[in-house]
Structure 1
């Protein structure tokens, strides 16, 4: 079970202002290049698991936000919190859930 504070942060992040169009493009480039280097392009898996919408369907937004922000101990998944705000991470999670971002 995820901590209540994390669920509150996810809710706040999803309701927050969207990144600027320029930052959105930078975030998509990050998904393609940085995330894609481990998760593949398209992100069907590689060193890291698939990031395709169907592979994420059973994962909550809170779980994905936490993994992206904090990384995953014992794996190659690094924490991204020093590079991505919670709002940007929530925006990325929403993009990952859509087919068209690729």
Structure 2
């Protein structure tokens, strides 16, 4: 995994150099809405899973979110998504979730 230094000195995934192509971006947004939304809610204000709204993610580091998405969370309903999402695609989704 590629890491970059943030100004505050923490390691965080790079700015995800590879942007998905426009078709894949639409697929990812559909996945976010339907697959993630089935547990996190529509809008993703929380449900079985926690809120994914920008204000709920403000204190969450990208690398922690990336790990949760890629590897899931043991003891919870959060499955690993690494079979369906590349690290760059996961980073792209995280950046979309951070947008108002």
For this structure pair, what is the TM-score category when the shorter chain's length is used for normalisation?
A: 0.7 to 0.9
Matched, 1:10 2:13: yes
Q: Determine if contact 1:44/1:52 at 8 Å carries over to the other structure.
A: yes
The answer for the alignment partner of 1:96 in structure 2 is 97
State the 1:7 CA deviation: 3.9
State the 1:10 CA deviation: 1.6
Q: Tell me the matched-pair count.
A: 93
Deviation string 1:28-78 (CA, Å, 9 cap, x unpaired) is 000000000000000000000000000000000000000000000100000
Gap runs ≥5 in structure 1: none
Counterpart CA distance in 2 for 1:66 and 1:7 is 13
More helix by share: 1
Gap runs ≥5 in structure 2: 5-11
Counterpart CA distance in 2 for 1:15 and 1:71 is 20
Kindly report which structure 2 residues correspond to 1:1-102, keeping only aligned pairs within 5 A, or say none.
7=3, 10-11=13-14, 14-99=15-100
TM-score by length of 2: 0.87
The answer for the alignment partner of 2:8 in structure 1 is none
